[in-house]
Amino acid sequence: MEPHPPGAMRRKDREITDRAEIDEILASTEVMHLALADRDTPFLVPVFYAYDGEAVYFHSANAGTKIGILKRNPKVCFEVSIDHGVIESDKACDFEARHRTVIGFGTASFVVGETEKIRILDRIVSRFTNKHFDYPKASLRSVAVIRINIESIKGKKHGF
């Protein structure tokens, strides 16, 4: 996995180079913003996700805009951000955002095996509750579970 997506970070003083900090950010929030491209039309959607150190996972209905785009173009970009705030200034154009952000690029693939789907759904659900759930076969057939193999990732922070 490459440490950074194409293009060097302009503000090196804000770059997060410690992989443990990047992993901590990915583990600390529940919503990931997923960017897809359908020919010349961008599409951005928030999804609940799980992260295992190598890939991010999310679930979806088996049909819809996001699934259609992923079938045509599995290349994705994802983003998570935490610790939001504003750093005020005496000048209007000098306000800045306080944040820690991770952006990654990867290729999405559909998980097909029932055992693997359950393992990933359990991982996603465990981010919200300690309860254990069973998944009826009809539910497993109607849900898509998607794995994003991370190809590059970088982090950025400001205000810390």
In a domain, 151, yes or no: yes
Any residues with CB less than 8 A from the CB of 145 and at least 6 apart, and which? 57, 58, 59, 110, 111, 116, 117, 120, 121
Does the CA dihedral 17-12-155-96 come out positive or negative? Answer: positive
In a domain, 2, yes or no: no
pLDDT band, residue 157 (cuts 50/70/90): confident
In a domain, 4, yes or no: no
What residues pair up with 108 in beta bridges, in sequence order?
A: 148
pLDDT tens string 83-142 = 776 666 677 787 766 678 999 999 999 999 999 999 999 999 999 899 989 999 999 999
Question: What is the Cα–Cα distance from 132 to 147, expressed in whole angstroms?
Answer: 22
In a domain, 7, yes or no: no
pLDDT tens string 130-142 = 998 999 999 999 9
Minimal CA–CA distance to 83: which of 13, 155, 2, 153? 155
Q: What is the CATH number of the domain that holds 142?
A: 2.30.110.10
- The boundaries of the domain holding residue 80 are 12-158
CA 36 to chain centre: 12
Considering its fold, how many domains does the chain have in total? 1
pLDDT tens string 14-69 = 688 889 999 999 999 999 999 999 999 999 999 999 999 999 999 999 999 999 99
In a domain, 1, yes or no: no
Question: What is the Cα–Cα distance from 16 to 87, expressed in whole angstroms?
Answer: 19
- pLDDT of the residue at 95: 72
pTM of the model: 0.85
